Structure 1
C-alpha cells in the first residue's frame, strides 16, 4: 500500500494557488475553476473514490452488519444493524456518490480542454467505478443525463441498469486504450499527485483491467441480455491484471488530521466505542479453520470463564502473532451451562435487544455496555487514526485471484486452474494482513491449506468454497454483498430477530428531493422496473428485497 503524502485537495483549494508558482501548468487566474490543472482534481477524485468505496465496508454503512462481520453490542441502533431493520434514507451513499461524480465530470471537462489524455482516461475510470457502485446498490440510476444543467436538464432520467453497464464496459476499455497509447513507461502527471501509482503506466493498465474482470463476473448471469460480448471483454482484460499485492489499488490513511484518518480513530470518533463485536458465525468460521487472520482482526476477551480453576487469576496471553494481552480468568459460575469459555468470543447474529449481558453470567448487571469484557472487541488497528493494515481498498490482487478462481470453477470466460488461482488468492490475503511476517515461528501456508475446511479439492461444493474463502479474505469490504447476491454464497442465515425474513439485496432509493413532479415521475419509472421478491411486504417496489435487473430471472440469492 502506498502512503499519500499531500493534503487532499478539492475544488475548494483554488484560493491557495497564488503561492504555487513552481508548477508550469498553473493558470494566471487561480479563481477560475475552468483553468485549474486537472492534476489537482486527480488527487481529489482518487481520494473520493477510495474513501467512498471502502467506507461502505465499515460501520458508517449497513453492509458489514448485513454480511454478519460484526454486531452492535450496546443496544444503540441494534434493531437497525443487527436485525436489518432498514428504512429509506438510512446510511444511504446516494448523495455522496453523485457529489463525487460532479468532481469527476469537472476533471473530465478540464482534461479535454487542456488535452490531458491521462486524466481524461482516469475520469472515465472513476466515473465507471462510482456509477457501478450506485447502480449495483440501488438499481436503475441517473447516468446519461447527469451534470447537464447547462443543457437545461435539472431532473435526469434513471437509466436502465443494462444500458448503464453496456456503457461502463466500453468506457473502461476506452480508458485502458488511451493510457496504453501514451508513450513511455510513465503517464504525464505532476509529481505527488497520482496517489495510486505515482505515474506507473503499467500499474494503471492493470488496475483498469482488474476492474473490468470484476464487472464482467458481476454481469455473467445476465450476459445473454447484453449487447456487449462479456466473454471477449473479460478475456481481453485478463491478459494484464494484478499479479502481486504491489499492484493493489489501496490508499493508506496518514492519521495527522480528521480528513486523513480512519473513522474509528480518535481524530474522527468522539469516543472509542467498543460496541461493535465480531459476529459469532464469522468468528467460528475463522476458528474452525485455525485462521491466523483472526488474531489480526480481534482481541481476546478481557475476562474469561474457566471450568478448571477455583480462584480468579490474571494471565498474560500471547497470540500466534506475538501480541500479548492480560486476561482475567474467572472460575466458571454455578447455575450456568451456556457460557463460552473460549479466549475469543463473538456475538450471535440478529438480536434487536442489547447484547451487553452476553456471556457475562452473574456479572451481567455490572457490565458497562460498550466495554463489556466477556466478549472480544475488534483489534486495536480499528481504533487508531492510521494503521498499515487498515486502508481505503478499491481492488486488490487477492480479489483478482478469487475472480479468476471462480471463473475457472464455473467454466466461464475460458479461465482454467481454479485451484491455482484459489491458493494464490488466500496466500495473497495472508500476505496483505502481515501473517507471513508476524506469525511466531513462521507461518506454514501449505499446512493451513491442507485442512478439510480450506483445501478446494476436499470441498463438496467448490464454488461455495471459493466464495466463502473470498468472503473471509475481504473482511470489512463491501464486495462480498454483491458476490452473495449473484451466487447465494456464503449461505447466510437470516437474523432471528429480523424485521423481514430475508437479507436485503439493495438499498431504498433516496426520495426525490425536491419533490418536483418531473423528478417524482422519473423516480417512479425506475421503481416500477424493480421486481418484488416473495419477501416484500409493502405496496411499493422500492423495497430492500426487490430485485434489480442484475438479479431478475436469476433466482438468486433467494
Structure 2
C-alpha cells in the first residue's frame, strides 16, 4: 500500500450577503471563504468514504464477530458480539453514512457549479459506494429524496432496493465515462488533494470499474428482476479493472493524531490488546492449510501446555515471518483432557459469558480478566496507530480476482478461467500481507497452493472453495458478510448461545427520529417490503433475520 498524507479539512461555509450598501461592503472580511473549491471537499469525502467502509469491517461494527473472525475474551458485550444478541440501534452506521452523504452532495453541487467534471464524477462514485453500503446493511433506504431540504423534503422516502441498484449502476458507468473523457493521463486536481490516486486517470477508471463488477455480482441472483442488462454492465467494466495490488483503493493511516489513526491504536482507544481473540474455527482453517497469514494476524500464546516437559521453562519462539516471542511452556496438568497444547489457540464461537478462563486449566482462578495468556491475542498491528498492513480498504486487486474467479465458476458474465483468477486472488492477498517479502527462507506459493484443501481442481464444490478462500483473504473486511448472504458460503455455524438458531442477515432500521407521522409512515412502508424468514419470532418485519429484496426468492443464506 502506498503511503498517502491524509489532509483533513474543516470547511466553514460563510453566507454571501447580497447587498449594495456601503455598510455591507465595509463589513466584508477579506479572510472570508466565499468561493470554495470542490478539491477541498474531495479530500474530506475520500477520507470519510474510505473510513466508513473499512470501519464496518473492523470492530466499529458487529460484523467481525458475526463472521466469527474474533470473539471478545471477557464479559463486556459478549452477548451482543459473541452470541449475536442484537437490538435496534446497536452499532448502527446509519447516521454516519448519511452525514457523509451531505458532504458528498455539497462536493457534487460545487463541481457542477464550477464545471469540475472530475470531482463531479467522484461525487457520483462516493455516493454510489455509500448508498450501496447502507442498502446492503438495511434494505430499502432513502436515496432519491435525500439532501432536498431546500425543496421542502424533510422526510425522504425509502427507495426500493431494485430501483436503487439500477440507478447506482447507471451512475457508476456515467462517472467512468466522465473520467475517461478527461484529456490526458492525469485528472485536473490540486496537488495533494487526490488521496487515492494522485490524479492518475487510469487508476480512477479501474477503481470505478472494479466497484461496478462487485455490484453486478451482488445482483446476479436478482438479474431477472432488473430492467438493466447486467451482463453488458459487467462486461463493459471488466475490460479495465485492477490488474495488480498497486491499483488498490486503500488509504493508509498516518498515526499522528486521533483523526489519522486506526481505531485500535492508542490515540483512539484506551483498550489494551487483550479483549479480542481470534475465533477458533477461523484459526483452525488457517492452521489446517498451513496459512502464513496466521502469523501476521495473530500472536502465539504466552503460556503453552506441553505433555513432553516436566517443569516450566521459557522459550524464545520465532514464527515463519521472523517474529520472536517469549513463550512459557508448562507441564500438562493431570485431571484435564481437553486443554489445547498448540502455540496458537482461538476461542470457541458463541458464549454469552466470559472467556477469560478458557484453556487455563488449573490456573483459571489466577488469570486476570482479559489478560489470560492461554489463548492467542491478535497481532500488535491491530493495536497501533498506524502500520503498513492496516489501512482503510475500499476494494483491492485480490477481491477483484476473487470476483472474476466466482463469476467464471458459476458461469456468469462470460468470464472464463476460474482457477487462474482464483490463484491470482490468493497470491495477491499474500502479497498484501507481506508474506513473500518476510517469510523466512522464502515462501513457496506453488507448494502452498498444491494442498488438497487449497487447490481448486481438487475441490468437490469449487464455488464453496472460492468463497471460503475469499472469506479468509478478506479478514476484517465487510464484504464476506454480503458474500455469505448471497451464496451461503462459507458454512458459518450459528453461535451456540445465540439469540436464535440463525445468523443475522441485516441490521434493524434506526427508529424514526423525530417520530413525525410522515417519517413513521415511510419507515413502515419499507418495513412492510421486508420478508420474514422462518427464524423471525417478533411481530414486526424489521428483524435481523428478515430478507431484503436482494435475498428474497433466493433461499439464501437459509
- TM-score normalised over the length of structure 2: 0.97
In structure 2, relative to structure 1, the CA distance for the partners of 1:113 and 1:535 (3 Å cut) is same
TM-aligned CA deviation for residue 60 of structure 1: 1.4
- Kept in 2, the 8 Å contact 1:27–1:35? The answer is no
Whether the 8 Å contact between 2:37 and 2:110 is mirrored in structure 1 is yes
The structure 1 segments of at least 4 consecutive aligned residues displaced by more than 2 Å after TM superposition are 10-35
Q: For residue 432 of structure 2, what is the aligned residue in structure 1?
A: 432
User: Unaligned 5+ residue runs, structure 1?
Assistant: none
Cα contact 1:449–1:455 (8 A) shared by 2: yes
Distance across 2 between alignment mates of 1:396 and 1:387? 18
- Structure 1 residues 278, 23: CA separation in 2 closer, same or farther (over 3 Å shift)? farther
Deviation, structure 1 residue 272: 1.7
Return closer, same or farther for 1:482/1:21 CA change in 2, 3 Å cut-off: farther
Contact kept, 8 Å, 2:197 with 2:204, in 1: the verdict is yes
Rounded Cα–Cα distance in structure 1 between residues aligned with 2:387 and 2:403: 27
Distance 1:380 1:22, change over 3 A: farther
Farther off after superposition, 404-413 or 21-30: 21-30
Aligned counterparts of 1:367 and 1:49: Cα–Cα separation in 2: 41
Between 1:79-88 and 1:263-272, the stretch displaced more is: 263-272
Give yes or no for contact 1:83–1:499 (8 Å, CA) kept in 2: yes
TM-score by length of 1: 0.97
2:375 counterpart SS class: coil
User: Could you report, residue by residue, the CA deviation over 1:258-312 in whole angstroms, capped at 9, with x for unpaired residues?
Assistant: 0000011111111324110000000000000000000000000000000011100
| 2:273–2:380 contact (8 Å) kept in structure 1 | no
How much does 1:195 deviate? 0.2
SS of equivalent residue, structure 1 residue 25: helix
With over 3 angstroms needed to count, the CA separation of the structure-2 counterparts of 1:254 and 1:483, relative to structure 1, is same
Residues 483-525 of structure 1, C-alpha deviation per residue, up to 9 Å, x if partnerless? 0000000011100000111000000000000000000000000
Match of 2:490 in 1: 490
Q: Tell me how far 1:198 sits from its aligned partner.
A: 0.1
How far apart in 1 are the matches of 2:265 and 2:435?
A: 23
Residue 285 of structure 1 corresponds to 285
Other-structure match for 1:521: 521
Mapped to 2, the partners of 1:26 and 1:119 lie a distance apart of 35
Cα distance in 1 for partners of 2:109, 2:28 equals 19
Q: For the Cα contact (< 8 Å) 1:2–1:196, is it kept in 2?
A: no
Q: CA deviation at 1:10?
A: 3.5
Displacement after TM superposition at 1:9 (Å): 1.7
Q: Residues 298 and 379 of structure 1 are in contact (CA less than 8 Å); yes or no, is this contact kept in structure 2?
A: yes
Moved more, 315-324 or 269-278: 269-278
2:548 corresponding residue in structure 1: 548
Q: Which secondary structure state, in structure 1, belongs to the residue aligned with residue 255 of structure 2? A: coil
Contact 2:16-2:34 at 8 Å conserved across structures: no
Give the Å deviation of 1:31.
7.7
- Output the CA distance in 2 between the equivalents of 1:31 and 1:406: 55
Rounded Cα–Cα distance in structure 2 between residues aligned with 1:441 and 1:85: 46
Distance 1:496 1:237, change over 3 A: same
Deviations 1:199-222 (A, max 9, x none): 000000000000000000000000
Counterpart of 1:336 in structure 2 is: 336
Distance 1:488 1:34, change over 3 A: farther
* In structure 1, C-alpha distance between the alignment counterparts of 2:384 and 2:179, rounded to whole Å: 37
Deviation, 1:26, is: 21
- Number of aligned residues: 558
Q: Displacement of 1:20 after TM fit?
A: 28
> How far apart are residue 76 of structure 1 and its match?
0.5
Structure 1 residues 312, 500: closer, same or farther in 2, change over 3 A? same
Please give the alpha-carbon distance, in whole angstroms, between the structure 1 residues aligned to 2:11 and 2:174: 27
Q: CA RMSD in A?
A: 3.6
